[in-house]
Amino acid sequence: MRRVERREQILDAATRAIVRTGFANTSVDDIAAEAGITRVLLYRHFDSKHDLCLAVFVRARDRLMAGVGSGNYGEHSLAAFLRAAAADPDGFRVLYRCAAREPEFRELYDELAQVSEHLAGRSLAGVLPPGAWTDWAARLLPGVAVDAVIAWLDLGQPDPEEAADRILRVMNGVLDAARSSRT
């Protein structure tokens, strides 16, 4: 197997293993066994478990960003977010479940959360007046979207053609709550 292909095989195996048991409970031996290779071969590609897991998280983030795109996000972005999650469900889970819970990788997750909050705030600027409730909605909406997508993935991706609309309705509930404030 070519080096690039072997590296992808290891990253795929590490992603599955981390999603199944978490970072702390996944050993290098577990990952090597999942990949069907020896520990020695794994260490030819990655210097440490930390380096391997960082590569897993970065790859998941990059795939998600490539799937969603960049620029101005709106209602149609949620469908792209769902498609990206469906294309790499374990990558999505490892990014939003595992990286968020691991102190070693929390910075990567926090950076993604800050970017999401900033983009949500920018999108809300034309919809809601400036203030605490708009800031609240900008902070809450990305988390609502992520949790809704994870639940959708965990339930087997029901009604994929309707999922974005259903999640958008939940997100519109947050917007309605932000609008109805008396501040």
What average pLDDT does this structure show over 144-149? 96
What average pLDDT does this structure show over 144-170? 95
Res 92: pLDDT: 95
Q: Which one, of 64, 182, 178, lies nearest residue 120 by Cα?
A: 178
Res 182: pLDDT: 55
Percent residues over pLDDT 70 in the chain: 95
The verdict on pTM exceeding 0.85 is yes
Res 181: pLDDT: 53
Residue 160 CB partners (closer than 8 Å, separation 6+): 82, 86
Residue 60 CB partners (closer than 8 Å, separation 6+): 15, 88, 91, 92, 94, 95, 99
In the chain, how many domains are there?
1
Q: CATH code at 105?
A: 1.10.357.10
What average pLDDT does this structure show over 130-150? 95
Span between the terminal Cα atoms of the chain, in Å: 62
What's the rounded Cα separation, in Å, for the pair 64 and 83?
A: 9
pLDDT in tens, 35-94: 999 999 999 999 999 999 999 999 999 999 898 876 666 667 889 999 999 999 999 999
Res 74: pLDDT: 65
Examine the pLDDT at 102 and tell me if it is beyond 60.
Answer: yes
Query: Which residues form the domain of 24?
Result: 3-179
Lookup: tokens for 35? 């990949």
Res 129: pLDDT: 92
DSSP code at position 183: -
